[in-house]
Structure 1
Amino acid sequence: MTARKLRILQVMRAPVGGLFRHVADLTRALSAHGHAVGLVVDSLASDAQTESRLTELAPHASLGIHRFAMPRLLGSGDLVTPLAIRRLALKLGIDILHGHGAKGGFYARLARLGNSKAVAIYTPHGGVLHFDKASLSGRIFHGLERWLMGQTGAIIFESQYAQATYAALIAPPTCPTMVIYNGLSLDEFVPVHPDADAADFVFIGELRKLKGVHVLIEALPALRRADGHPATLVMAGAGGSRDALLAQIARLGLTDRVSLIGAQPARPSLARGRIAVVPSLAESLPYIVLEAAAAQLPVIATRVGGIPEIFGPTAASLVPANDVQALHEAMQMALDRPDTAQAEMRARLEYMVERFALAGMAGEIEALYRRLAVQR
């Protein structure tokens, strides 16, 4: 007997970063399997890059792309939007409400109230796990998490780290949970060849303190290549710390050694450097580490979040977060011992291929959807 096709609504705040990458990949895979998928996104966040991404995804979202106000901080939209999403879900006959990130998970589960037809699933993507439980925002969002547990059909964690942190920080979940790693397509495991004028190091990500960009710049001044020339860095990304970063670069006399190229797609940006650096202070399971490792670049990263789960047998090379000296030493070693860096890259690649595949990720999530839809 042919399995029934599901009607699925993916709920997220802003279509940027790894969270959007995950939702976009999942939407395409579900659509290819015949399911009807719709997206709910933030009407308050709109720029050329956002609109371009949504336009590319629209053919795979047969239930449409719907925009509602989703303020970053708590606001009036947090009262109105869940009701609007519930009305939308009822109108579209939704089986699965899948919320991504703190706000997406909040809205999807509130929208499930009074809608016994739909099952609400939640993937934190870091989000609420990064709130300090002593802060007002942390207390509010962690309290909401506990309150909404009864509306949660399942929680999907993208790393074992996220699963353990949620239980310790908020509460052990009373609903089913699964760890399903983010996955890459087969063509992303094809090597990227650095440009002829590639910098020694490349950073790709948001320009904000949480990503450790200030630590990276502090680690750069004394770095030297084997030929004695100063090491260079390309940074692809945008964010609120850009001006502070430019001031730091100028203060350290690095203007000629650091290039800020703005927000760019990850894979072409990886060709702008020979070694990828991910100096984050906190993460869940960052796509950029997966993408850089799959593209067969050496990767220097911090021991935070689920990154050790990606590094597997090479996790001993991870450096402490927010440690300028440790990051400097790891970067200098990669310059001094390229053969060692390449050997580590190959060991990491072999470990990743079987564990971080897009087909496996989408298949596990689809199977969970089906189990929960049958049980309701």
Structure 2
Amino acid sequence: MKILMVVEASGGGVGRHVLDLAAGLTERQHEVHIIYSPLRMDRLFSERKQSLAGVRFVPYSLKRSPGPSDLAALKFIRSYFKANGGFDLVHGHSSKAGALVRLATADLAPTVYTPHAFKTMDPGLSKAKKALVAAAEFALGQIGNGIILVSQDEYEHARKLNLPKQKLYLVKNGIKLPGRSESTSVSLELRKKYKLSEEAVVLGFVGRLVPQKAPEILFKAFELLALEHKNVYLFYVGQGPLLQLLQKKAAGSPVKDRVIFAGEQDGSAMMSIFDVFVLPSRYEGMPYVMLEAQAAGLPLVSTKVGGIWDIVQPGRNGYLVEVEDYRELALKLEDLVLDPHKRRLFGQESQARAKLFTVEQMVRQTLEVYESISQKQFAKKAVVRNEY
């Protein structure tokens, strides 16, 4: 197949998903073009796309919010489609690209949309804005051929939005399972770098420092915990608009020496020094960092949102708490800080469950969706021809 993908959010989990999917499709001898926006591209996306020689990358600046520039974007996508001899299928990732793809090319080829967490899943969204976004999703849902949801929770949310059931497909995110050979040496090097003693218990966060991920809620929970337990450390791995706020909070806290801002780096490598992984998100699709932490054999503490329900089995490989409940979060973290045996058991269960979420499975199932949609479209055209 010849596939065109469009992505505005060229970074984080969305960027990771797009590149993993593109790599898997080209390995299966499919032709892949990606129109991506450099405006929100992160370092990892920028570096990794250089290694995907079989994929044609086309930069085009897409703005996150709707505006007049979207008209030019629609024209560009449609012109690119035609100038390159057409495509068998067009796939838009996240709400902006999903809208543009369906509006620009739905009359030219089958189109697929992956929301990667509907904006309407955000509990902080006002009622008026949520109603407006829901109306837009419903209207656009009547256009195009398929909507891929990355978690069971997101699938159920799509049903609540009254999106056409026959267009909905569930394909959970997956990762390449890591090797274990280097993890011990990497962990020793990093513990030495950050001057961590053998007794130190490290709580780790990896991700964008944005309101969606609620890193400030984690800080409040950590502060409660760290005042009682002097061997506990908190690592933030990532960048984002909340960084300065978090640094200011940490600087004025009595536990400031045990809060480490590690910046943007390889999160999976940093996980080798974590004892517990924490992600207190307000809403999610299927977060890659949770899949990586699971594969790294870490106990997981997160919130009752999105695809996290698919990853965390409470009492078996971690705990789930209510969104923004920092006191409950602190209690669950304390339970694991005080019980190394439980951390070990939870970590073993995480590693065992990681086999359920592989990138090979994600690529195969996505390709099955593509083929199913293409076959339906072909059959539909055949019926129309026969009528004439």
TM-score for the superposition, normalised by structure 2? 0.86
Code of the residue aligned with 2:169 in structure 1: it is M
- The corresponding residue for 1:243 is 244
Q: Give the distance between the partners of 2:38 and 2:12, measured in 1 at CA.
A: 17
Code of the residue aligned with 2:24 in structure 1: it is A
Q: Deviations over 1:104-130 (max 9, x none)?
A: 111111122441xx1100111014334
Taking a change above 3 Å as real, the CA distance of residues 29 and 48 of structure 1, as seen in their structure-2 partners, is closer
Shift of 1:250: 1.8
Q: Give the distance between the partners of 1:327 and 1:89, measured in 2 at CA.
A: 48
- The corresponding residue for 2:380 is none
Conserved? CA contact 1:159–1:284, under 8 Å: yes
User: Structure 1 residue 185 and structure 2 residue 176: aligned?
Assistant: yes
Q: Give the distance between the partners of 1:126 and 1:15, measured in 2 at CA.
A: 15
Q: Give the distance between the partners of 2:367 and 2:176, measured in 1 at CA.
A: 17
- The corresponding residue for 1:143 is 135
User: Structure 1 residue 78 and structure 2 residue 74: aligned?
Assistant: no
Shift of 1:174: 4.8
Q: Deviations over 1:285-332 (max 9, x none)?
A: 111111001111222112211211112463772122211111111111
- The corresponding residue for 2:308 is 307
- The corresponding residue for 2:232 is 231
Code of the residue aligned with 1:146 in structure 2: it is F
Q: Deviations over 1:138-192 (max 9, x none)?
A: 4443333222223221111001100111222x32325421111111113368794
- The corresponding residue for 1:24 is 19
Q: Give the distance between the partners of 1:257 and 1:202, measured in 2 at CA.
A: 12
1:54-203 map, 5 Å = 54-57=49-52, 59-61=53-55, 64-92=56-84, 93-115=86-108, 118-130=109-121, 132=125, 134-136=127-129, 138-168=130-160, 170-187=161-178, 192-193=183-184, 194-195=187-188, 196-197=191-192, 200-203=202-205
Code of the residue aligned with 1:324 in structure 2: it is Y
Q: Give the distance between the partners of 1:176 and 1:190, measured in 2 at CA.
A: 43
Instruction: Give the aligned CA root-mean-square deviation in angstroms.
Output: 2.3
SS of the aligned residue for 2:59 comes to strand
Taking a change above 3 Å as real, the CA distance of residues 330 and 312 of structure 1, as seen in their structure-2 partners, is closer
Q: Deviations over 1:251-285 (max 9, x none)?
A: 22332111101111221121242221111121111
Percent identity among equivalent residues? 26
- The corresponding residue for 2:323 is 321
Q: Give the distance between the partners of 2:62 and 2:137, measured in 1 at CA.
A: 17
Shift of 1:364: 0.8
1:258-297 map, 5 Å = 258-297=259-298
SS of the aligned residue for 2:257 comes to coil
Taking a change above 3 Å as real, the CA distance of residues 288 and 316 of structure 1, as seen in their structure-2 partners, is closer
Shift of 1:41: 0.8
Conserved? CA contact 1:192–1:297, under 8 Å: no
Conserved? CA contact 1:308–1:315, under 8 Å: no
Code of the residue aligned with 2:96 in structure 1: it is K
Alignment equivalent of 1:339, drawn from 338, 341, 366:
341
Q: Give the distance between the partners of 1:283 and 1:15, measured in 2 at CA.
A: 17
Q: Give the distance between the partners of 1:133 and 1:88, measured in 2 at CA.
A: 37
Aligned length: 362
Q: Deviations over 1:41-91 (max 9, x none)?
A: 11434565553233233x131xx2112231111112222212211121222
Q: Give the distance between the partners of 2:283 and 2:142, measured in 1 at CA.
A: 29
TM-score for the superposition, normalised by structure 1? 0.89
Q: Give the distance between the partners of 1:308 and 1:211, measured in 2 at CA.
A: 16
Q: Give the distance between the partners of 1:258 and 1:205, measured in 2 at CA.
A: 16
Shift of 1:15: 1.5
Conserved? CA contact 1:155–1:175, under 8 Å: no
Q: Which structure 1 residue ranges, 5 or more long, are not aligned?
A: 1-5
User: Structure 1 residue 363 and structure 2 residue 361: aligned?
Assistant: no
SS of the aligned residue for 2:218 comes to helix
Taking a change above 3 Å as real, the CA distance of residues 362 and 188 of structure 1, as seen in their structure-2 partners, is farther
- The corresponding residue for 2:33 is 38
Q: Give the distance between the partners of 2:39 and 2:346, measured in 1 at CA.
A: 43
Conserved? CA contact 1:270–1:292, under 8 Å: yes
Q: Give the distance between the partners of 1:83 and 1:113, measured in 2 at CA.
A: 13
Conserved? CA contact 2:300–2:317, under 8 Å: no
Q: Deviations over 1:319-352 (max 9, x none)?
A: 2221111111111111111111221222233233
Conserved? CA contact 1:183–1:357, under 8 Å: yes
Code of the residue aligned with 1:86 in structure 2: it is R
